[in-house]
Structure formats: C-alpha cells, structure tokens
Structure 1
Amino acid sequence: MKIEETIIKGCYLITPRSFTDNRGSLTKIYHELMFQEMGLDVQFREEYFSVSSKGVLRGLHFQIPPMQHAKCVTCVSGKIFDVVVDLRKNSPTFGKHFCTELDGKTPSLLYVPEGLAHGFVSLEDDSIFLNRSTTVYSPECDRGIHWDSCGIVWPDLDLIISHKDQEMPDFENFNSPF
C-alpha cells in the first residue's frame, strides 16, 4: 500500500495494490500489520456501506467525545466526491477542507482521523461507499455541520440532501469539542 498525507494533518490517501487477471481483480483494502507499518495503529469496531443515487449528498458528519472515531472510507463501485473538514481547534488546518474523488475502478482509501467532519456526494447512480470506523455509532454523540458552510466547491449537480443534513448548524456556529 502507498500512503500520502493530505493537506490535513493525520488525514491520508491510501492506494492499495490491486491484482488483475482474466477473471477480474482482487484488492486488499485493509491489513492490520500494513496499517501499523504506515503508523496507523487502529482497531476498527464497525463497518457499513451505503448505496447512493447520483447527486445524493451525505454529510458533513462526525461523532463527539467520548465516541469520536477515526475512519477509513472507500468507494467500491461507482464514484464519489469525498470531503473532510478539520474541526480540531489547535490544528493549523482548523476549518480547512480537503476534497478528493474516490472511484471504484481505481481503488483508493481515505483515512480520516478523529476530529474531522466527513461527507460525500455520489457522482454516479448506485455508488457504493464503504465506511470502517474505530467506534460504533452512537445516536447521543452523532453530530454534523452544514454541508454548505465551509467554502467547499461541491460538484454542479442537482443535490439530494436529507432533512437532517439540511438542518445541521453552520461551521461558524459550531463550538468544536476537538
């Protein structure tokens, strides 16, 4: 696996090796020892996937302490525009964001440390997003910031956004616990 730090400290793009032959391909997206060798000594506690139509925006989500988590995300089919926002008050990139495309045809992962909000928009119908996190979902600790309050230039699509995500507080009105 190849690891590259993004502009957000502790947030990494990871490119796994893929093996292709006449049958198709095989891509290993997690291997505990490889992650440890890259300095990412994490234990994932929950894993889930979502399937989204083109234009579906999910985010910007995170969990507050004591259930904050690191996560590792990827797109296994289709394509997504993936975004993180640094919510860590003492970070030099506090309030800054990083965007990348994750494409099921070109496997890559985004490692998101604790204290970052995360979201994405599906660029194709039936995009499958896979999320692995270090804590389990906690409704009491579930939070978010408004998707359109951080200066992110989202893809020019007719966005489909849940009521919950439309009602999230703006970044400017969010008092970060990180």
Structure 2
Amino acid sequence: MTIETTPIQDLLIINPTVFEDARGYFFEAYNQEKLAALGVTIDFVQDNQSFSKRGTLRGLHYQNPPYAQTKLVRVLQGEIIDVAVDIRRASPTYGQHFAIRLSAENKKQLLIPHGFAHGFSVISETAVVLYKCDQFYNKASEGGIRFDDPSLNIDWGIDLKDAIVSDKDLVLPGIDGCNSMF
C-alpha cells in the first residue's frame, strides 16, 4: 500500500498493493495497521455504497462539525470522476478542487478529510461506489455546494445539461453561500 499526496494538503490517494495471477487478483482495500504506519490514523464507523447510471452526478456534500466526516472512497464496479473541494476557510487552497478518476480497474482510493465537500460523476455505463466514514450521518449537520458553481469550474467528465442530479442537489448554493463551519 502506498500513499500519494495531491496539490491540496491532507487530501490523499491510496494505492493498494495488488497481487495478480491466473485466478485473478487480491488486495487489501483497507488495513488499519498499514495505514497507521503511513501516518493515517482514522477510526471508520460506517460504510456507504451507491449504484448509479452513466451521467449521474452526486454532490457536492459535507457535514459540519462535530459530525464532520472523513471519507475513504473507492469504486467496486465502473468508473467515476471523484471530486473534493477544500472548504476550510483558513486553508491556502480554500475553494480549490481536486478531481481523480477512480475505477474498479485502477483500484485507487481517495482519502477525503474533514473540511472538504465531496461529489462524483459516473462516466461508465454504471458504477458501484463504496466509501468508509469516520462519523455517522447526521442530517442536521449536512451541507452542500452546487455542482456547477462557475467559481469552482469543475470538469465532471460528462455533459452537465444531460446530468442526472437529485432535486436536493439542484438547489444547493454556490461555495460563497454554503454554510461551511470549517
């Protein structure tokens, strides 16, 4: 298992060590001891899984303290563009985003700490996404940012006029109007 840094502090890419042979492959998707040895110490308490069709766009979501969530995101089937937006007001990268292709094929994972909004778009026919959280879902603390906020200029890898977006996500404010408490 290796860790890659990103241009945004604390946002990490985790690459598992994959063992392949004639039968297929095996890898440890999560190993608390190995991550701790690499400096990542998080106690995950909840796993979430979603199935989505091509063109689905979910996000950008976050939870405010004290219910803020660190997420470890991976794709079990298909391919997505996974996006994290820095909403830590004191951060030098506030308002900047990082996007990465996560797929069942590349097996990469994105570790998104507290203080980030998260979303993804599906660029394969379908995708199954699994993410671990270090805090339970709390509706009263949730917040979000509009996926097409022009100040963020996110390339979701899909035509936004055809995106499949929830009614809830369509009414989210831009980053300037979000209720981030970070």
Same fold (TM over 0.5): yes
Choose 130-139 or 148-157, whichever is displaced more. 148-157
- Compute the RMSD of aligned alpha carbons: 1.0
- Superposed structure 1 runs of 4+ greater than 6 Å apart: none
Q: Which amino acid aligns with 1:68?
A: A
Q: TM-score, normalised by structure 1?
A: 0.97
Which residue among 157, 161, 164 is the counterpart of 2:165?
A: 161
Identity of aligned residues (%): 36
In 1, Cα distance between the equivalents of 2:140 and 2:127?
A: 28
In 1, Cα distance between the equivalents of 2:11 and 2:64?
A: 18
1:152 maps to what in 2? Answer: 154
In 1, Cα distance between the equivalents of 2:34 and 2:21?
A: 24
1:117 maps to what in 2? Answer: 117
* Structure 2 residue runs without a partner (length 5+): none
In 2, Cα distance between the equivalents of 1:54 and 1:19?
A: 30
1:11-69 Cα offsets, whole Å, 9 max, x none, are 00111011112221112110011111111110001002101100000000010111001
In 2, Cα distance between the equivalents of 1:101 and 1:3?
A: 16
Secondary structure class of the residue paired with 2:132 = strand
Q: Which amino acid aligns with 1:129?
A: V
- 1:125 Cα deviation from its structure 2 partner: 2.1
Matched-pair contact (CA < 8 Å) for 1:27–1:107: no
* Structure 1 residue runs without a partner (length 5+): none
Mapping 1:43-82, distance limit 5 Å: 43-82=43-82
Structure 2 residue 174 is matched with structure 1 residue 170: yes
